[in-house]
Amino acid sequence: MHLTPAQALHRGVAAHNEGNLHDAEACYRAILKSHKKKSAGSQTLDVIAQCYINLGILLHGKGDLKETINCYRSALKIRPDFVEIYWLKGLARRDMGDLKLSIDCYQQAVKLEPNNADAHNNLGAAQQHMGDLEGSIQSYRKALKIDPACVEAYNNMGGALQGLGDTGEALESYKQALKIKPDYANAYINMGCILQDTGNLEAAIDCYKNAIKIMPGSTQAHNNMGNALKGLGNYEKALEHFDYISATVINPSDPQFWFNSKSLALECLYFLGRYAELEQRLNVLANSGETNLRIAAVSAFVTNQLGLADPYPFCKNPLDFFHAGNLNNHVADVSRFAEALMLEAANENAVWEPQHGVTRSGFQTSPTIFGAGKNCQALERILRKEIESYHSKFKSEDCDYMKSWPAKYDIRGWFVRLLKTGYQQAHNHPSGWLSGVVYLKTIDSSDTDEGSIELGLHGHDLPILDDSYARKIHHPKVGDIILFPSSLFHRTIPFSEDTERCVIAFDIYRYIN
């Protein structure tokens, strides 16, 4: 039976809604191949534009952001006045790390519909991701002036106010959202985050309970509840929430929490001393075929502590994959290049001790540093060369880290400026694949470890049973480039010298095929 374009689109949307992405993508592509824009009527053009939009949303979910943006560009050629496309394109640009271009998209939406509260709210969210918290608050206030009942603007403004350290005003903003919409789960979750960050875990738990009553399947609410209970030492109850996420949520709205729940459950079992169950779960996860860098990190540490063989196949000995190079292999004058990089970075919005971050006594930019200027762009090209050399050095190693090395990847970097007493807490980057640091200004600590980076297996405040676990301290010099698996924990050792320590840190993110 011959289907009209509208009928074919309906079939593709049905497959998309059912989670049958392969058939949905095939349907969208078939429509775009069969119906040419030049010869199409107005109704068919609308179908073609919607196909591009839907295909873009699908590809965004797969991580192919460049092709996603190409789809939205094609849709805009047909319907340049369709505000929703600018919102979607802005979201893709944001997830790609192109925050300036993301803001451009939302500004275009505001220009098209200046009295659209959602447009101002979305612009504010992009500015907030960029680190422009004051600008984002102005956008949220404009949204609320247009629509005083815009709960999303109150909710988002609470996050921006919290980022500025104004926790009192942030809580008030969330309360305003709840006055308008008492069943607004996200406002309860965000209130809980503030209370949790300020150490009021019991009050935070009450907020999460309200969120879960409203939205029982919220991965974030269960994740935050689990972490708050874990912070109180109630590992049994925390485990219930992490296991709920893993066992119950089939299509997570935020995959980050879904992936984290499995490793957090392992951590609870370790805290509880239920080592046999921990080992059993670890073996199941190791054979699941899923790549989860947070599990890989936990597995490497707990098996070391318990004297077990590490079953997780990602990267069992991550310190073996540490590599140190230097900018002097790429540029003639390292000091001059480092100064130029710092000047460009100084023009980027930087946040003091970012919310939910690991930076202490220091500033950090959003992950868009490679767009800050020509020198930062040149640095990205240098790093891609260094990454290729790194891959050539280790590619014969027998582990998933190398066997599944991304053929295509995105690279995102951010600038970190630590002041006297500054440091970064032990952390890793489980959403990345390879992580690295370029040192632009370092601490002269020839006789101490101050300002150095320590890499090791320990993190997440897990109990140390055997202090002989693997670790390494690197004393950086200006121009050093270090690379290591993103699963590896690392921290900056605090320094007492009255100076600054400046770096560009970065991750590579693989595209999902």
> In 3-state terms, the chain is what percent helix, strand and coil (to 5)?
55, 15, 30
Question: In terms of C-beta density within 10 A (0-12 exposed, 13-18 middle, 19 or more buried), how is residue 380 classed?
Answer: middle
pLDDT at 36 (0 to 100): 61
Token digits of residue 130 = 């960029």
DSSP secondary structure code for residue 447 in this structure: T
Token digits of residue 205 = 């738990």
- Are 324 and 474 within 8 A, CB to CB? yes
**Kind and range of the H or E run holding 325:** strand 323-326
Residue 182, number of CB atoms within 10 A of its CB: 11
Which is nearest to 436 in space by CA: 403, 396, 474, 397? 474
Q: What is the 3-state secondary structure (H, E, C) of 215-228?
A: CCCCHHHHHHHHHH
Separation between Cα atoms, residue 362 and residue 176, nearest integer Å? 32
| CB-facing half-sphere around the CA of 278: CA atoms within 13 A | 25
pLDDT at 117 (0 to 100): 92
pLDDT at 462 (0 to 100): 96
Token digits of residue 51 = 């196909």
| Entry pTM | 0.79
Separation between Cα atoms, residue 162 and residue 67, nearest integer Å? 35
Which is nearest to 411 in space by CA: 311, 511, 337, 501? 511
Q: Stretch 264-286: mean pLDDT, rounded?
A: 97
Tens digits of residue pLDDT in 341-398: 999 999 988 888 887 779 999 999 988 899 899 999 999 999 999 999 999 999 999 9
pLDDT of 38 > 50? The answer is no
pLDDT of 37 > 60? The answer is no
Tens digits of residue pLDDT in 424-445: 999 999 999 999 999 999 998 7
The long-range contacts involving 128-131, CB below 8 angstroms and separated by at least 24 positions, are 128/156, 128/159, 128/160, 128/163, 129/94, 129/99, 129/102, 129/366, 130/99, 130/100, 130/102, 130/103, 130/349, 130/366, 130/368, 131/348, 131/349, 131/350, 131/351, 131/365, 131/366
Token digits of residue 298 = 């936990």
Higher pLDDT, 255 or 310: 310
- Are 270 and 278 within 8 A, CB to CB? yes
Summary mean pLDDT of the chain: 90
Check the CA dihedral 73-78-84-86 and report its sign. positive
Check the CA dihedral 390-395-397-403 and report its sign. positive
pLDDT of 327 > 90? The answer is yes
Tens digits of residue pLDDT in 148-158: 999 999 999 99
Domains of the chain: 183-272 (1.25.40.10), 319-510 (2.60.120.620)
